[in-house]
């Protein structure tokens, strides 16, 4: 009992001295994160205590997120600055099978923050004033020292430096000159060059609304650049409403691919990422068909193999990959076909699935051999699939063809020679 009392005292002293828990790891004196609170509760606490709210939006796979947690947030200097001025909380933006009950409770917060504030890179730090109004955001790690972090966070208290105030003032200036399309175009190009896709999307909306004929080849290319990264972009609506005309002007199905990618990122990713439970594909399809009738089936067919591969469910991965290719092979690139074939080679043992992958891999190789410089990697994929199917003779032949195609690349030549040696000795070339 005496030992227990001493332990209890130590716990109390530790808590009061500023040792905090960040993302469930105990760290030294630093920023105190209220990770037991939902976003709504943290915002209420900030208002009650007349402090700003700092929200760390992170993912479990993000290296810069871990760096900020371990090297910046844990320091005494960061703690002294932040704990006086902010209520701080961290919200995990992805899902894993190892998530705690508390993390799962905040899935809704993660989804709503991601959509409301268009979070597409990690870490993203959102800062709200004491009234709960968003005023500032910081994207990415803030540098190698605490001072850089503090400087960037302190901008949240200076109106002319606040991200959202700056952006609103900036967009008002552009609106005032919206008829000067050359100026607006220059600002759009500058925003794209700096990879500020939120700003790019807003400027693109102004630009498209100020010109008579938005559907030109040049404008379509601009729209495609923006919607590749920006959520809820007005250009997406324009493409969807005029897709037939866009196909004629653009001369290919690139716009269709971007639309599918945007639907997958915005609609499917929040439902599938790290989801430990089997998705209800039929329900997902019904929801997508209502809004994207021309794209729903293709988006889901493409999502299934990607999802099952991430879940290490290789049986369903192989089956869904074959179904996807059989239905859409004519529109798939050699890169897409080779990527699926290679993953099947690595992870699938079902001979019928391997045989299907061999068929489409051979189609890719035949197309490559008609080129002046065929891809050695694509030929290597085909050779390895043949070897896994037990066709040692032809596997070695095609691996030697891959070696020829890799002429001048010493690293690939070394790898392919090692593969040929393994094939000759009948040693597995996969794990």
Which element (helix H / strand E) includes 295?
A: none
How does residue 347 score in pLDDT terms, banded at 50, 70 and 90? very high
SS3 state of residue 20: strand
Give the pLDDT of residue 13: 36
314: tokens are 């290789």
Give the pLDDT of residue 7: 38
Rg for the chain (alpha carbons), in Å? Answer: 26
Domain 2-161 CATH class label: alpha beta
Dist CA 356 CA 42 (whole Å): 53
User: What integer best gives the mean pLDDT of the chain?
Assistant: 85
161: tokens are 């430096």
CA 423, chain centre distance (Å): 37
| pLDDT(90) > 60 | yes
Distances (CA, A) of 154 to 39, 90, 122, 149, 372: 21, 19, 20, 9, 57
Give the pLDDT of residue 20: 43
Dist CA 124 CA 181 (whole Å): 32
Please indicate whether residue 16 or residue 183 has the higher confidence score (pLDDT): 183
* Residue 252, burial from CB neighbour count under 10 angstroms (0-12, 13-18, 19+): exposed
| pLDDT(15) > 50 | no
pLDDT tens digits along 181-223: 888 888 888 777 656 777 788 888 888 888 877 888 787 777 7
Please indicate whether residue 266 or residue 155 has the higher confidence score (pLDDT): 155
Dist CA 275 CA 269 (whole Å): 10
Dist CA 236 CA 220 (whole Å): 10
The neighbour count for residue 329, using CB atoms within 10 Å, is 13
* Structural domain spans, the chain: 2-161
User: DSSP secondary structure string, 31-66?
Assistant: --B-TTS-HHHHHHHHHHTT-EEEEEEE-TT-HHHH
Please indicate whether residue 186 or residue 348 has the higher confidence score (pLDDT): 348
């Amino acid at each position: 009992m005496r030992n227990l009392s001493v332990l209890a005292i130590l716990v109390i002293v530790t808590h009061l001295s500023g040792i905090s828990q960040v993302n469930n790891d105990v760290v030294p004196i630093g920023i105190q994160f209220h990770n037991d609170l939902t976003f709504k509760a943290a915002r209420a606490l900030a208002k009650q205590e007349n402090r700003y709210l700092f929200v760390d939006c992170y993912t479990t796979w993000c290296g810069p997120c871990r760096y900020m947690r371990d090297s910046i947030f844990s320091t005494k200097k960061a703690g002294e600055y932040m704990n006086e001025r902010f209520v701080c909380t961290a919200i995990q933006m992805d899902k894993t099978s190892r998530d705690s009950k508390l993390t799962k409770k905040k899935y809704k917060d993660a989804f709503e923050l991601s959509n409301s504030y268009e979070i597409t890179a990690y870490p993203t730090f959102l800062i709200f004033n004491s009234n709960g109004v968003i005023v500032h955001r910081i994207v990415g790690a803030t540098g190698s020292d605490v001072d850089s972090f503090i400087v960037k966070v302190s901008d949240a208290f200076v109106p002319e430096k606040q991200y959202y105030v700056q952006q609103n003032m900036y967009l008002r200036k552009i609106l005032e000159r919206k008829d000067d399309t050359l100026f607006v175009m220059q600002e759009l190009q500058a925003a794209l060059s700096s990879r500020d896709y939120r700003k790019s999307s807003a400027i693109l909306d102004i630009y498209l609304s100020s010109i008579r004929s938005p559907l030109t080849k040049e404008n379509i290319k601009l729209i495609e650049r923006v919607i590749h990264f920006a959520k809820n972009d007005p250009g997406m609506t324009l493409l969807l409403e005029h897709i037939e005309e866009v196909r004629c002007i653009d001369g290919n199905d690139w716009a269709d691919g971007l639309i599918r990618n945007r639907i997958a990122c915005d609609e499917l990713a929040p439902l599938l990422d790290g989801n430990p439970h089997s998705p209800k594909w039929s329900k997902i399809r019904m929801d997508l068909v209502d809004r994207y009738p021309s794209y729903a089936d293709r988006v889901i067919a493409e999502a299934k193999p990607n999802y099952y591969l991430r879940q290490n469910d290789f049986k369903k991965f192989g089956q869904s990959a074959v179904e996807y290719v059989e239905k859409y092979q004519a529109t798939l690139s050699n890169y897409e076909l080779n990527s699926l074939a290679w993953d099947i080679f690595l992870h699938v043992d079902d001979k019928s699935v391997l045989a299907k992958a061999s068929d489409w891999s051979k189609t890719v190789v035949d197309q490559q051999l008609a080129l002046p410089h065929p891809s050695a990697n694509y030929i290597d994929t085909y050779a390895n699939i043949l070897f896994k199917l037990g066709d040692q003779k032809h596997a070695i032949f095609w691996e030697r063809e891959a070696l020829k195609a890799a002429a001048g690349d010493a690293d690939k030549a070394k790898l392919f020679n090692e593969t040929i040696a393994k094939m000759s000795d009948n040693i597995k070339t996969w794990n």
